[in-house]
Amino acid sequence: MVRKLSITEWLVLINIAVYTILAIIGLSALALNQDVLVFIAQYNKFIFEQGYIWELFTALFVHFHLGHLLGNMIFLLLFGYRTEDFFEWKKYLIIYLVSGLIGNLLGLFFGPDFLSAGASGAIFGLFGSLIYPLKKESPRSLKGMIFIGVIFLIFSGVNYNVDSISHWAGFIVGLFLGKYFSKINLKKERIIPKSIKVKET
């Protein structure tokens, strides 16, 4: 029987598929063609002048080069699998997309010549969403996750031109959403008992 893919694995496959398609279109595998990127990554000039609003969304699944893609996918797996332990796939996806979109919206303030792409803001959102539940349930695991988060921050900064604002925005949004969804889950656990004893009369 074939195992059903998790939300994290689906996101990884989508990112890899997008990169592969764009590499074929641009005839460049190691680094994507900028002439292609401006139509699907976040190119502020096209958003402002041509109304390409969708780029705020599509940019979340676009990466500049192979190292950019591979690095982000490794950290997506690390943070993503752990996020699945605490949130159902719908809440997970909300955290991922909202964190990334808000980070991209803030990127508009960099002006028309700004070209941005990558899942980093969304991934930092997943990282942020883990802080509250891990603090409550596993402080030791939280320390390890923070260590991984610091490595991700360093990796992001030294390997390619980075939009640090989207990273911090994604983290903060994820932090708030993670706490909000964790409290909702806690309320449900209190309302719906894990086991109900039934006795016939």
Which CATH number does the domain housing residue 100 bear? Answer: 1.20.1540.10
The single residue of 116, 120, 156, 166 carrying the catalytic annotation is: 120
Residue 64 is assigned to a structural domain of this protein: yes
Domain contains 22: yes
Residue 164: pLDDT band (50, 70, 90) is confident
Judge contact between 124 and 176, C-beta under 8 A: no
- pLDDT confidence of residue 156: 76
* Domain membership of residue 132 as a residue range: 7-189
65 is annotated as an active-site residue: no
Q: Is residue 99 part of a domain?
A: yes
Q: How far apart, in whole angstroms, are the C-alpha atoms of residue 180 and residue 197?
A: 31
Among residues 68, 116, 167, 182, the one annotated as catalytic is 167
Q: What percent of the chain has pLDDT over 70?
A: 88
Q: Taking the chain, what is the end-to-end CA distance rounded to the nearest angstrom? A: 44
Question: Please, are residues 111 and 44 in contact by the beta-carbon 8 Å criterion?
Answer: yes
Q: Which residue has the tokens 């604002």?
A: 165
Q: Tell me, yes or no, whether 170 lies in a domain.
A: yes
Q: 68 catalytic, yes or no?
A: no
What's the number of domains the chain is made of? 1
The length of the chain is 201
Determine, yes or no, domain membership for 89: yes
199, part of any domain: no
Q: Which residue has the higher pLDDT, 50 or 158?
A: 50
- Please give the Cα distance from 72 to 153 (Å, whole number): 11
Residue 201 predicted with pLDDT over 90: no
Smallest CA-to-CA distance from 115 within 43, 54, 49, 53 is with: 43
Is 195 part of a structural domain of the chain?
A: no
The answer to whether position 194 is within a domain reads no
